[in-house]
Copies of this chain bind each other. A is one copy, B any other.
Amino acid sequence: MNDFTPPLRTSIGHATPDSIEVCGHDLTNGLMGEADFAAVFFLLVSGRLPDNGEARLFNAILVALADHGLTPSALAARLTYTGAPEAVQGAVAAGLLGAGSVFLGVFEDAGRMLRSAIPAGDGDLDAIAVRLVEDHRERKARLPGLGHPIHTEGDPRTARLLQIAEQENLLGPHIRLMLRVQAVASSGGKSLPLNAGGASGALLCDLGIDTAALRGVALVARSAGLVGHVVEEARSPLGRWLWDTAERETTYVRPD
C-alpha cells in the first residue's frame, strides 16, 4: 500500500535493561531530579532542553493555561466521571476532546498566522500587521488571539506573560508582530485585548516550538486542570446536578 525505507526512526526515547534515554539525555542521571517536568516536556517537543529563562517562560505559559474554572471541557470531564469513575483516563480524555477550534485551538491558529506572515530576516512588522488585519477583514475572518468573553478590558495573564518574557529577554518577532496586530485591530474603535492563548501561541513560536506542537502544549497544560476537576468531582460532585438541571430546564418538543 505504501513504500517505506527501513530502518524507521524515532528520537523520543529508548530503553535497555539498565538505562533509559529520552531525546538524547540519560533519564535517570541527566533529567530526573535535575530538570523540571516542563523542561522535559520542552525537550520532548523541540529536541533540546530550555535554558533557565526559556524554562521560566514555558512554565509560566503552562501555568497560565492549566485551568480556567468550570469550562465546557471541565464539565465534560466531570460528567464522564459520573458514569465511569473507575476509568479516570476516560474523563481526562473527554475533557481534552473539547480543546478544538473554538477554545484551545487559538494557540495553533495564532502561531500558524504569525509563522506564515513573518519572512526570513524579520521584515517590517508594522507593515505585516496592517496587511494581516486588512486581509482578515476582507475575508471576514476572525483574528486569532484577540478578545475574551470575561476579560474584556485586558487578559491579566497576557500582561504577566509579557512581563516575564521581557525579564527573560524573550520578546521575539512573533510576539512583537502579535502586539502590532492587536494595536492595528483595535485602532478603529472597539479595543480587542490580546488574550492569553494568542500571547502564548506567539511566545511559543519565539521559543522555537514547532507549529504542530502548539495545541499539544495547551493540552498538557489543561490536563493538569482536568485532573484537578476529576479529583474534586470524586469528593464534591456536580455531575448529577448538571444532569438534573438539564432535564428540568429543557422542554421536549416533538420534531416538526
- Chain A interface residues (CB < 8 Å from chain B): 1-2, 4, 6-24, 27-29, 31-33, 35-38, 40-41, 44-45, 47-48, 56, 59-60, 62-64, 66-76, 79-80, 82-94, 96-105, 108, 149-154, 156-157, 159-161, 163-164, 167, 210, 212-213, 215-217, 219-221, 223-225, 227-232, 234-236, 238-247, 249-256
A97→B97 CA distance, assembly (Å)? 9
- The answer to whether B72 and A24 touch across the interface, beta carbons within 8 angstroms, is no
Closest B residue to A14 by beta carbon equals: B252
Q: Can you report 28 residue pairs joining A to B where beta carbons are below 8 Å apart?
A: A1-B244, A7-B249, A10-B69, A13-B252, A15-B151, A17-B153, A18-B156, A19-B156, A21-B254, A28-B156, A37-B63, A41-B227, A44-B66, A69-B247, A76-B79, A79-B98, A82-B98, A84-B97, A84-B98, A84-B103, A92-B216, A93-B96, A94-B94, A97-B97, A216-B230, A220-B223, A220-B227, A242-B245
* B79, B97, B229, B241: the one within 8 Å of A91 (CB): B97
Q: Which residues of chain B are within 8 angstroms of A83 by Cβ–Cβ distance?
A: 72-73, 98-100, 102-104
Q: Given A11-B252, A38-B37, are A89 and B88 neighbors across the interface (CB < 8 Å)? A: no
A101 to chain B, nearest CB (A): 5
A27 nearest CB across to chain B (Å): 7
Is A32 touching B18 in the complex (CB atoms < 8 A)?
A: no
* Given A19-B156, A21-B252, A240-B2, A79:B79 Cβ within 8 A: yes
- Given known pairs A32-B160, A72-B79, A150-B15, the reply for A250 and B7 (CB within 8 Å) is yes
Find the B residue at minimum CB distance from A41. B224
Neighbour of A254 across the interface among B1, B16, B24, B231, CB < 8 A: B24
Do the beta carbons of B215 and A88 come within 8 Å of each other?
Answer: yes
Q: Do residues A151 and B18 form an inter-chain contact, with CB atoms below 8 A?
A: yes
The distance in angstroms between the C-alpha atoms of A45 and B11, with both chains bound, is: 32
Q: Quick check: B92 and A94 within 8 Å, CB to CB?
A: no
Given A4-B244, A44-B225, A60-B33, decide whether A82 and B97 contact each other with a Cβ distance below 8 A: no
